[in-house]
Amino acid sequence: MSYHNPFTPPRKSATFDDHTLAEIRRAAATGIYDIRGAGTKRKVPHFDDLLFLGASISRYPLEGYREKCDTTVTLGTRFAKKPITLKTPITIAGMSFGALSGNAKEALGRGATIAGTSTTTGDGGMTDEERGHSQTLVYQYLPSRYGMNPKDLRRADAIEVVVGQGAKPGGGGMLLGQKISDRVANMRNLPKGIDQRSACRHPDWTGPDDLEIKILELREITDWEKPIYIKVGGARPYYDTALAVKAGADVVVLDGMQGGTAATQDVFIENVGMPTLACIRPAVQALQDLGMHRKVQLIVSGGIRSGADVAKALALGADAVAIGTAALVALGDNDPHWEDEYQKLGTTAGAYDDWHEGKDPAGITTQDPELAARLDPVAAGRRLANYLKVMTLEAQTIARACGKNHLHNLEPEDLVALTMEAAAMAQVPLAGTSWFPGKGSF
Ligand SMILES: Cc1cc2nc3c(=O)[nH]c(=O)nc-3n(C[C@H](O)[C@H](O)[C@H](O)COP(=O)(O)O)c2cc1C
């Protein structure tokens, strides 16, 4: 007797979907967990779930041809003798030399400089390419201390103390041996060709009081000139922001779970940390509670793709944003132009995330000299500059439509949410109502 049911087609499980089944088989076959780059691939509440209201009778728009909408931002106004002023609030996030090729670092510097914004070093130290081509360069001070050099602290325009990243709050990164070339090994004081795991916490602190001492040390080394940022992954944004302010930060960088990484465990990327959208309001609330909103600047990152995303982050209270993944795409990463080669690697443009393996056909996330030479840093820098310009213009257009003569005048009142989740996280009303869930609680 057959139990086959001819009336209903076979039904797959939503819990055990194709990807999950493939992951179980992969784990069973190999005995190792998956490591990859990029940010979370699952759908989480995001800026797409918010809309601007624009102006009508009750609000008055600005006339684009005659009335200016300012986009500048000054970072580091609290303590630094030399704060940084940028023409656009879109900065380039820290991405390590090692994860990226020297040419890619140069291209980021070129593009950011044309656009009047800053770029940032990463794990592994400062390269001459990026210092030489970046008008404003932020130097990361990381738990691993790879490539840390006191002279480079002084060559930088600002210092970013990295406590964590949105892709892996509480965790460290990975750099596979195939990317530890002679140059990378030399800069990091590591043996060539051997896999490296970056530390998940700073070796000389056990808590927030040590962070305060560390910031003072960095200020002394740099003669109190440079703005000091603290970067945290989006985990407990209210308390982390408050503690960063207490420790003496000039700027807080807050990276949500969509934030890219060069490489870490997939299980980490997909299961640890909070969506960027959920991080902003608690952080802004902490700044407001301390009377520090706009005095300590807030830079938000994690999944920023367009001028609309920028405008929404700013409307929720951020002073600026940082982009990583989108900047790499603008340089030429994951470009369909290289599809044949992506296919040979068993992937496709748009899904290529094995940045740690160093085989990037676009020459961006690689240390292979032949692949790296494919990226023309001048042309790639120009593409990045174009992209930054478009995003700035887009954000400006939205701000004008909301009647704002500076991007920083955008406010939560300009926004509504499309979903209950986004309304609760962003604390803006569900569209068509004056209500959002969870008022007053984080
Ligand atoms: C290739 C790559 C390398 C990265 N390296 C670092 C790093 O060295 N230090 C760090 O703090 N963050 C690093 N990040 C994270 C970025 O600074 C940033 O937080 C993140 O990319 C922002 O999210 P987005 O990629 O969605 O724009 C890296 C990200 C990428 C994509």
Cβ 385 under 6 angstroms from ligand 1: no
Cβ 176 under 6 angstroms from ligand 1: no
Task: Name beta bridge partners: 253.
Answer: 231, 299
DSSP state of 92: E
Choose which residue among 165, 202, 328 to substitute to test ligand 1 binding: the one with the highest number of ligand atoms within 8 A of its C-beta. 165
Length of the chain: 442
> What Å distances lie between residue 160 and 79, 139, 371, CA to CA?
14, 6, 30
Please report, in tens digits, the pLDDT of each residue of the chain (442 residues total): 567 788 888 899 999 999 999 999 999 999 999 999 999 999 999 999 999 999 999 999 998 888 999 999 999 999 999 999 999 999 999 999 989 999 999 999 999 999 999 999 999 899 998 999 999 999 999 998 888 888 999 999 999 999 999 999 998 877 778 888 888 888 888 888 888 888 889 988 888 899 999 999 999 999 999 999 999 999 999 999 999 999 999 999 999 999 999 999 999 999 999 999 999 999 999 999 999 999 999 999 999 999 999 999 999 999 999 999 999 999 999 999 999 999 999 999 999 999 999 999 999 999 999 999 999 999 999 999 999 999 999 999 999 999 999 999 999 999 999 999 999 999 999 999 999 998 655 5
**331-362 CB burial, b ≥16 within 10 A, e <16:** bbbbbeebeebbeeeebebeebbbbbbbbbbb
Nearest-CA residue for atom 13 of ligand 1: 95
Query: pTM here?
Result: 0.96
- In the numeric block, the tokens 């301390």 are attached to 290
Cβ 96 under 6 angstroms from ligand 1: yes
Q: What is the model's pLDDT at position 196?
A: 80
Q: What is the pLDDT of residues 371-398, one digit of tens each?
A: 999 999 999 999 999 999 999 999 999 9
> What Å distances lie between residue 120 and 92, 109, 197, CA to CA?
6, 9, 21
How far does residue 94's CA lie from ligand 1's centre (Å)?
Answer: 6
Identify the three-state secondary structure at position 36: strand
Cα separation, 369 vs 104, in Å, equals 12
- In the numeric block, the tokens 């990045």 are attached to 384
Cα separation, 442 vs 427, in Å, equals 10
Task: Name beta bridge partners: 382.
Answer: none
Cβ 165 under 6 angstroms from ligand 1: yes
Cβ 229 under 6 angstroms from ligand 1: no
- In the numeric block, the tokens 């490489």 are attached to 263
DSSP state of 58: S
* Distance, C-alpha 232 to centroid of its chain: 11
Q: What is the model's pLDDT at position 204?
A: 87
The answer to whether 198 and 146 have CB atoms below 8 angstroms apart is yes
Q: What is the model's pLDDT at position 188?
A: 82
Q: What is the model's pLDDT at position 286?
A: 98
Considering Cα of 259, then 264, then 267, then 268, what sign does the dihedral take? negative
Cβ 144 under 6 angstroms from ligand 1: no
Cα separation, 409 vs 402, in Å, equals 9
Alpha helix locations (H) across 295-336? 307-315, 325-331
Task: Name beta bridge partners: 161.
Answer: 141, 230
Cα separation, 289 vs 280, in Å, equals 14
Q: What is the pLDDT of residues 48-57, one digit of tens each?
A: 999 999 999 9
Helix, strand, coil proportions of the chain in percent (round to 5)?
40, 15, 50
DSSP string across 203-238: TT-SSHHHHHHHHHHHHHHTTT-S-EEEEEESSSHH
Q: What is the model's pLDDT at position 1?
A: 59
Alpha helix locations (H) across 80-166? 102-115, 128-133, 150-155
Cα separation, 254 vs 235, in Å, equals 9
Q: What is the model's pLDDT at position 216?
A: 96
Cα separation, 102 vs 233, in Å, equals 26
Query: Between helices 208-221 and 237-247, what is the axis angle to 10°?
Result: 40
**279-305 CB burial, b ≥16 within 10 A, e <16:** bbbbbbbbbeeeebbeebbbbbbbbbb
Nearest-CA residue for atom 9 of ligand 1: 122
**Backbone phi, then psi, for 405, in 5-degree steps?**
-95, 5
Cβ 123 under 6 angstroms from ligand 1: yes
Q: What is the model's pLDDT at position 139?
A: 97
> What Å distances lie between residue 132 and 102, 122, 135, CA to CA?
12, 16, 8
Cα separation, 365 vs 281, in Å, equals 33
How far does residue 169's CA lie from ligand 1's centre (Å)?
Answer: 12
